[in-house]
Every structure is written in structure tokens, then in C-alpha cells.
A and B are shown apart, each in its own frame.
Chain A
Amino acid sequence: MPQQLTTPDHASNSDIVFHIRGLTKRYQMGEVQVDALRGIDLDLYRGEFTVLLGASGSGKSTLLNILGGLDTPTLGNVGYGNHDLTHASEAELTEYRRHHVGFVFQFYNLIPSLTALENIAVVTEIAKSPMKPREALELVGLGNRVDHFPAQLSGGEQQRVAIARAIAKQPQVLLCDEPTGALDSKTGIVVLEALQRVNRELGTTTAVITHNAGIAQMADRVIHLTDGLISQAYTNESPISPDQLSW
């Protein structure tokens, strides 16, 4: 299947954050070989809010993990600005994650033994120019929950702490893997509002993966993945705000 290049009309080359060519990832799962990504070409742009859609097994999580330096491709190239992530060493990837990327996971992955504020401090303590942990919590509307432990927070609150933790270091890129996957729609909308706010106010390039097509309506650009390939990509002319979403 020929691969179309997905470039929005308004973007110029200097705005490219991620530059992906021929990205392939193959896993060995027990006795089975799985092709998670099968040669993807894609560019992501500064300040863009991208939603990656796809069924489970489509390769969207793998793509996000490679973008975040959590995993390495089997074949192909991934460039971040002037950095080549394809051949980066373990130490370089660590530096990359430390200073450039914020992550939000489906299951929050908060450290259970630390309070909301401390969970953020874990990241700000090693960042170059972080915001104050409390500020980050306020940004996601949790200024009143700073001293609560993860177990004392609802799922939506935990995910917002996770978002605060991801953005507190003021990263260039925010990568979210099914951020609302474990939440009901009402809570999900609150979380998405927090993400949109961060994207708008801080200008953070944001990529969200989901299998929930409804969320696509708030994106600047939507990429569909099917069986490890991009099956569809389009620019959203008029993104709507999360509270108007329906799913």
C-alpha cells in the first residue's frame, strides 16, 4: 500500500518537531512475531495537537513509545529537531526524556508512596527549568489536592496529577497514551480540557493516542492507524472544545 505523506498545508519545514520515515517495529512475543509498525512516514509540527486513532493492535502505542524514546525502532528513521532518535544511545534517550518529553499513561503510573505534589516533584527535581509543582497542579485544577496520596484520589484526579507531572518540566512534547481510557466520559472531558489548556497556554506539541474517535474532533490533526500503517490522515479545520465532545 503506498504511503501518503501527511503534511498540513499551513506548516513549514522549520516547524517540524518529529520527522519520521519508514518506521518499522517488530516484536517477538513468545513464539509469535508481531509487526507493530510497518514503515510509517509522518511529520509532527510545533504546537500541534494531534490525535492518533486506531483499534488495539494498530501500532499507535508503539509509535508513541518510539517518539517518547521509550522504545527503539527495528527499521527506519525518527528525527526530533536536530536529534536522531533512531541511533541514540541509552544515555541520549534518557537525556531526551528528561528534558524534552512529558508522558501521560493510560493507568497514570503515579508512585503510590508519594503525594500528588511529591509525584510532580520527582520530575521537577531533575528538570532544567520546571514550573513549581503546585503551579502545575493548579493548571490541572487540583490546587486543593496537593497532599493527597494516589490512593486517595479518583481516577480522573490521578490522571490530572499525571498530566501535571508531565507538563511540570515544561517539555517541548507531551505524549499521552489513552489518557481517558480508564475514565468515564465526564471525568474524561475534564482531563482533556486540562490537556488542551496546556497545549494552548504553553504551546506544547501534544500527541494523544486513543481508540475513541470522538476525541478527534478537538485535534488540529487526526491520524488513523490500521495494522501498523497510516490509513487516513486529515487536518481538522475547526477543532471544537472538549466540553462539546460526545462519546
Chain B
Amino acid sequence: MKAMDKKLWREFQGMRMQALAIAMVIGSGVAIFIMSLSALDSLYETRERYYRNHHFSHIFASLKRAPLALVTHIEAIPGIDKIETRVVSYVTLDIGGFDEPVSAHLLSLPSHGAGLLNQLYLRQGRLAEPGRDNEIVVNEKFAQAHGLRSGDQLAATINGRRKTLTIVGLALSPEYIYQIAPGALFPDYKRYGVLWMSRKPLASAYNMDGGFNMVTVTLRKDSNQQDVIDHLDNILEPYGGIGAIAREDQLSHRFLAAELEQLKTMATVFPVIFFAVAAFLLNVVISRLINLQREQIAVLKAFGYSSIEVAIHYSKLVLMIVSVGVLGGIGAGVWMGKGLSNLYTEFFSFPFMIFVLKPQVIIAATVMSVGVAIFGTLYSVHRAVKLPPAQGMRPEQPVLYHRTLVERLRLQRWFSQPTRMIMRHIERRPIKSLLTVIGISLASAIIMMSGFQKGAIDYMIDVQYGISQKEDMIAIYTEPTSARALYSLRSIPGVEYVEGFRIVPVKLRFEHRSYRTTINGIPPQSKLMRLLDTELNVVEVPPQGLVLTEYLAERLKVKPGEMIEVEILEGKRSVIQVPLIGTAKQYLGSNAYMRLSALNRALKEGNATSGARLKVDKQSQQQIYAALKEIPRIAGVVEQRSSIRMFYDTMAKNILFFTGITTLLGAVIAFGVVYNSMRIALSERSRELASLRVLGFRNSEITYILLGEFALLTLMAIPLGWLLGYGLSAYMAFQIDTDLYRVPLILNQDVYAFSALVVIMSAIISSLMIWRNLIQLDMVAVLKTRE
């Protein structure tokens, strides 16, 4: 080994604590980066593989009833690869020990084997025997929510007839990765399930022998999806087709895509910010580290080492430190990435997880870390070699201190000499002090950014279910029903207030933009469904025209007063023109609203309702559920609040993992920055402090001079960190705007408090570590060496 390399190695070992702290800063950035991106890539890859292996359809079309012979017509559509027909029904279930009404989709299994498309992934048991009318396969999440296993029984009302069914298997389906009831915003595994049974008995129950009411197809590579959909709609229209939808609009896929899209924002914006902060801090720390080597650099130059050789020499040292960080970060990132992927695999019903670690992710993290570190090194080395060696070897000129602002204001008698030294030192080197403050505040800002989500979600739910929607439950009819039916609901004991509503699937078009959603018909002066303006004040639904959620209006780029084309996606599928009257603030969903009577008129129907919102006496809830189950036209009961609670209980696990890790690594970064800043300050000032000791200062006094400065800088950094954290969180919130939900920028006090606490704790721990070195300062050495 060359002497220069030995020098490197020994110096590296000599500064291991500091090197470790620096490595931890960049390692944390790398780990978050790799964790997020590998989890995201893994989820995308897992979904693709699952779709491919299980032949997830490209197009789905529902209809009233068509004979099987129609398949040959469909087959003739150019571009279609495979076709599968089936019978689908919506049923209500009775599950022992669970009072609330449960609804489910009941799908026919293919006549033989796994079938061609949307193949099930059997987790347990077997498929139902062909022809058996009492055997079902149940979606795994639903079974888990109710503790059901193969061999258990449940009762279903199939086309008005109650039937006891035995579970023979638990399965997953690519169609229900995100298992969500139609019209719901959140999955509710307790109140909505998916069941499969043999086709023959199911078809018989619905008079569908020799027929089907749903067809799904896959496309050839070269086919035009829209052409196929148009063809299919033409063929199915006489059979009550309600319009084929592409995979992009399929419920599970759409929600999953939105979730992944949101995750993608999280997984790119967040780690990039995090990484950038780590890189900035790395740069600061490395620059100061090299500055300490000023004299050695001058000596090497005096021997005839060129600037480039000196730069390479220090780059090697920095590379050693950064390598430790990058390698550690990659290891931790992969491990956490697997953990996060597994959590999401479980959260979305994926049967397996394929962990993907793209080389370019690792390369990007490495190149960026190394690049930033080398840049910082070169910059500092450049500054060091710019000085003629003679000057470099000379101890730095005593810097010129000025009277501080405090002293100019003649306030100094309030402060001791050491305090005045602290203030002068900070004021003398404003840039250095500022960089330290910025470094610490950025560390606390990323901790805030990690913590802001939870409060935001609580707030979202509070607004939606505390101010806007006030019902206790929503009863949904099997089909639009006259408003007279509300009387029978009002007569149920314990029901305090009932309000009918109409909900109709539509496609809104404005200029070339369109969006599939629902129009909600709301009665005037509604007490249970209230629209909010931007200040969250309740506003009345106008008697005419349409109200859109703010987000949707922006997305369609439509302004009040302009006409929107509304294609009704049920019944006669008419197309009407409705003016936009106003917008409403909503964090969840992207819906449209109309006065109920106006919607009825537009649909050319009487006073039809799709269901009712109920306000009930909490004591009688169970009796009300029982009563609702007895009403045949009620397809299901939705209790949004509990759905959301359940969703977020599951989600909390993921969020906890993510925020837990990011908070932890944010704390690591905070510690790394504080510790390094202190360590470097100690090196820079040890001579000065030891001289003070020689002059008779006590250990406590020089400790105060050094650490007091840091205490002051840390305190200055906290409010700045809050400001930066608020900004970063705002940026994150802005980035995760989707049509499913908008995240409000809500930062609770505990988020502020926690970020400050982490920084203060880091400062205290660092101080204790530095204090040990401080009290061991060698006074004699100071007297001996030059001044």
C-alpha cells in the first residue's frame, strides 16, 4: 500500500464515529429511495404478472340477458382474442354472528376447470363441483373478515329465495385485487364479499339457462380497444347492454391504479426530497471536513503534490465514507422495500409478491450520492489549494470579530463574557452558522413531512362524515324505487329521519375531456347530505343544473355557466345537456350533484330514488338491521363510517411502517448533522478552547462556549424547520391529488412538537458525546505547538 493510502486508511479509522455519522446521513437517503422505488416496482410487476398469468380481461360488458349463441357474433369482432361469458348477480348474505346486512357479488364459475379468463387463485380448498347448487368459493379477504373457512356455512338470498351455502374454497381473483362494492369509496371486507358458484344452478336461479348477463374478453396485441368496445356495444344493445368498459374503468383496476399512482407520488416525491436533503447535508459536512485538512493540504502541496493529486486523495477518503453509507443504505433499503412490498401485497389481495430491484435504482442512488460527495470534496479542495501553500500552512489569520448587534445596542451587560463570545462567533461566521441552522432545520422538516399524513386523514374523515354526510347508514335498493317506499323505512322503530336519494352512473363530457362518475340527487334542505363551499360552509343544492366537486370541475376545465354533456349510463342511456351551476369542496371522491327533483326530471322518471339515508337511534341499530334485511328491495346497507375506519385500520399498518421508517431515518439524519457540525466545530476550535482552559476557564465554561452556540443554533433551527416542513408537506399534499381523494394540508401540533423533540434529543446526545472529548482537551499540547 502506498504511504498516501495508508494515511487515508488510518485517518478514516481515526474519524470512524464522524464517518459513521456522515454515512448514516447518506445511507438513510439511499435506504428511503430504494425502499420506496423497489416497493413500487415490485407492486407494478406483481400486478402485471398476476394479470398475465391469470388472464385478466381487457373489456367487461354487462347486459340483461343474452343467449349463448351470441358468442359466435362476438367472436367475429376483429381484435378479440378470448371470450368468456358468465352469470353475475348481486345477493344479500346472512352470516352467523354478524347482524348487519351483507351484500355480495355472486359469480358463475366456468363450466370446466379454471376457465379462460380472470382465473381464480385458490388459497384453500377446491372449486365448487359443477352442478352443485350449495357449494361456493369465497373471496379470501371477506372470509378472513368473518373468520370463515372451508366447510363453514352461510345463508344467501338468491333471487328472493334463501339458501344455505357451504364454503368449499377460498380464492383470490385478479378482478378483485381491490375488493370494493359498487358506489363505495373504500373497501369493506365485512359488508361486501365476492362469491363463486357453479354456473348451472346459478343460471337456473335467475332463468339464465343457456344465457349470460356478462361477457369479458381479452384483446390481441394489434387490436383497437375502442373499436372492440363500440362493436360489442352494438351487438349487446338489444340484449340490455349498459355499455362495455375497458380494463381502465374496471372497479378494482381503477382503484388499484389510483392507489398505485398515489403510492408512486409518495415513492418518488418523498424519497427524492429526502434524498436531496441528505445529499445537501452530505455536501455541507464533507466541505467542512475537508476545510479542517487545510494545513495538511498545504504540506502536500509543498512537497510537490499537484492539486489534482490532492483532490484525488481526499476524494478517496470521501468515497470510503460514502461507500459505507451507500452499501448500508442499499442493504437497509432492500430489506425495508421487501417489508413494504409484503405489506402492500397483503393490503391489496395479491396472491404472491415478486420483489423487483431495478439496477438503475441502485445505480441512480449510488451515482447521486457519490456525485454529491465528490462535488463537495472537489469544491473544498479547490478552495484549499487556491491558497499558496505558504499561507495554507500558516495558522489561519485570527478572524476579525466585530461587536455584535447586542453589543451595539449596549445590551452586553445582560450577558456574560462566554455568552458574548458565543454571539460574536455566530455573527462572525454567518454563512457557516446559517448552513448549520439550515441543515438541522431540513432534518426536522423531513420528519414533519413523514408525520403529516395521519392527521390529514383524520381531518378528511371529519369533514366528510362530521360536516358533510350526517347519516348513520345508507340503504340501497336493488333498482330505482318510488319515493313512497321511504314511508316503510320511516315506520321502522328506531329510525329517526329518512331522506331518499337518487344516484345514477354517468359520463360527463366537456370539450374533449370526459369523466365517468355518478350524479347524486339530493333533496332540498337536505339534513343528511350537505354540500360544502371552500370555507366548509354548508351550501344549498341549486334547484336546477349541476354542482361538481371542485377537483372534477378543474379536471374537466369547466366553469359555472357552461354546459356539460351528460351521458346517462343506465336505462335508456340518453344524453342530456346540463349547465354547471357551482362547485363544492370535497376531499373524498369526484362526484356530481343535482337537486333530486331536477335529476328525476332530467331522467324523465317520476320521483324515483336509489336508496335512503337514515338517521337512527343507536340503541335500536340491531333491530333496524334485522328489519332492513326483511325488505326484499333493499340490496344492501352501507355504513361508510365503519368502512372507512376499517380501511384505515388496515391502512394504518402501512402508514405506520412508512412513517415509522421515514421518521426514524429523519431522526438519524438530524443526529448525523448535529453530531458532525459539533465534531467539526470542536476540531476547529479546540486550540482556542484549550487556550481558555490554560487561562483558567473551567471545563463547564468552555463546554458552555461550544455547546451553548449549538444550543442557540438548534433553537434557531426549530422554527425554520417548521416552516420548511410545512412547505414540504404542502408540496406532498399538492402532489397526491387524485380523483379518489385530495389530501388536505393538516399538521397537528404533535407533528410540530415531535420534529422539535427529535432535533433537541439529537443535540443532547451529540452534546454528551462531544463533551467527553471536550473535557480531555490537551492544554500542554496547545502551549507547545505554534500559534
**Chain A residues near B309 (CB-CB < 8 A):** 126
**Chain B residues near A30 (CB-CB < 8 A):** 397, 400
How far, in angstroms, from A61 to B300 measured CA to CA in the complex?
A: 19
Q: Quick one: given A29-B397, A114-B6, are A70 and B302 in contact (CB under 8 Å)?
A: yes
* B:1-53 near A, CB below 8 Å: 2-4, 6-7, 10-11, 14
For A119-133 the 0/1 string (1 means CB < 8 A from B) is 101110111000000
Least CB separation from B9: chain A residue: A113
For B281-313 the 0/1 string (1 means CB < 8 A from A) is 000000000000001100111111111010000
Q: Quick one: given A30-B397, A118-B3, A125-B3, are A107 and B303 in contact (CB under 8 Å)?
A: no
Least CB separation from B295: chain A residue: A109
Q: Are B7 and A111 in contact (CB under 8 A)?
A: yes
Q: Tell me if B577 counts as interface (CB < 8 A to partner A).
A: no
Q: Are A122 and B397 in contact (CB under 8 A)?
A: no
**Chain B residues near A72 (CB-CB < 8 A):** 388
How far, in angstroms, from A167 to B302 measured CA to CA in the complex?
A: 14
Q: Quick one: given A30-B397, A65-B388, are A99 and B785 in contact (CB under 8 Å)?
A: no
Least CB separation from B400: chain A residue: A30
From A98, A109, A165, give the contact of B393 (CB < 8 A): A109
Looking at the assembled complex, report how far the CB atom of B686 sits from the nearest CB atom of chain A, in whole angstroms.
14
Looking at the assembled complex, report how far the CB atom of B405 sits from the nearest CB atom of chain A, in whole angstroms.
21
Q: Tell me if B408 counts as interface (CB < 8 A to partner A).
A: no
* B:359-392 near A, CB below 8 Å: 388-391
How far, in angstroms, from A107 to B302 measured CA to CA in the complex?
A: 14
Which applies to chain A's interface (DSSP): helix, strand, loop or mixed?
Answer: mixed
Q: Tell me if A18 counts as interface (CB < 8 A to partner B).
A: no
Interface segment, A79-87, A88-96, A221-229?
A88-96
Q: Are B305 and A107 in contact (CB under 8 A)?
A: no
Q: Tell me if B73 counts as interface (CB < 8 A to partner A).
A: no
Looking at the assembled complex, report how far the CB atom of B317 sits from the nearest CB atom of chain A, in whole angstroms.
11
Q: Are B10 and A71 in contact (CB under 8 A)?
A: no
Q: Are A118 and B7 in contact (CB under 8 A)?
A: yes
* A:156-178 near B, CB below 8 Å: 165
Q: Tell me if A106 counts as interface (CB < 8 A to partner B).
A: yes
Looking at the assembled complex, report how far the CB atom of B181 sits from the nearest CB atom of chain A, in whole angstroms.
69
Q: Are B2 and A125 in contact (CB under 8 A)?
A: yes
From A29, A62, A95, A105, give the contact of B304 (CB < 8 A): A95
Least CB separation from A72: chain B residue: B388
Q: Quick one: given A30-B400, A71-B390, A105-B393, are A94 and B7 in contact (CB under 8 Å)?
A: no
From B3, B307, B786, give the contact of A107 (CB < 8 A): B786
How far, in angstroms, from A94 to B302 measured CA to CA in the complex?
A: 8
Q: Are A97 and B3 in contact (CB under 8 A)?
A: no
How far, in angstroms, from A111 to B393 measured CA to CA in the complex?
A: 13
Most buried by A among B2, B309, B390: B390
Least CB separation from B391: chain A residue: A71
Q: Tell me if A103 counts as interface (CB < 8 A to partner B).
A: yes
Q: Quick one: given A30-B397, A70-B388, are A126 and B305 in contact (CB under 8 Å)?
A: yes
Q: Are A126 and B303 in contact (CB under 8 A)?
A: yes
Looking at the assembled complex, report how far the CB atom of A178 sits from the nearest CB atom of chain B, in whole angstroms.
10
Q: Are A109 and B299 in contact (CB under 8 A)?
A: yes
How far, in angstroms, from A168 to B3 measured CA to CA in the complex?
A: 14
Least CB separation from A118: chain B residue: B3
Q: Quick one: given A29-B397, A71-B391, A109-B295, are A122 and B7 in contact (CB under 8 Å)?
A: yes
Q: Tell me if A188 counts as interface (CB < 8 A to partner B).
A: no
From B2, B14, B300, give the contact of A113 (CB < 8 A): B14
How far, in angstroms, from A121 to B300 measured CA to CA in the complex?
A: 12
Looking at the assembled complex, report how far the CB atom of B538 sits from the nearest CB atom of chain A, in whole angstroms.
69
From B14, B299, B303, B785, give the contact of A98 (CB < 8 A): B303
Known: A65-B389, A103-B302, A121-B2. 15 other contacts (CB 8 A): A30-B397, A72-B388, A94-B306, A95-B304, A97-B301, A99-B304, A103-B303, A109-B393, A113-B10, A113-B11, A114-B3, A118-B3, A123-B304, A126-B304, A127-B304
Q: Which 3 A-B pairs have the closest CB atoms?
A: A98-B304, A65-B390, A121-B3
Jot down 15 A-B pairs with beta carbons below 8 A, ordered by A.
Answer: A29-B397, A65-B389, A65-B390, A68-B302, A71-B388, A90-B307, A94-B301, A94-B305, A95-B304, A99-B304, A109-B295, A109-B299, A114-B7, A118-B3, A126-B305
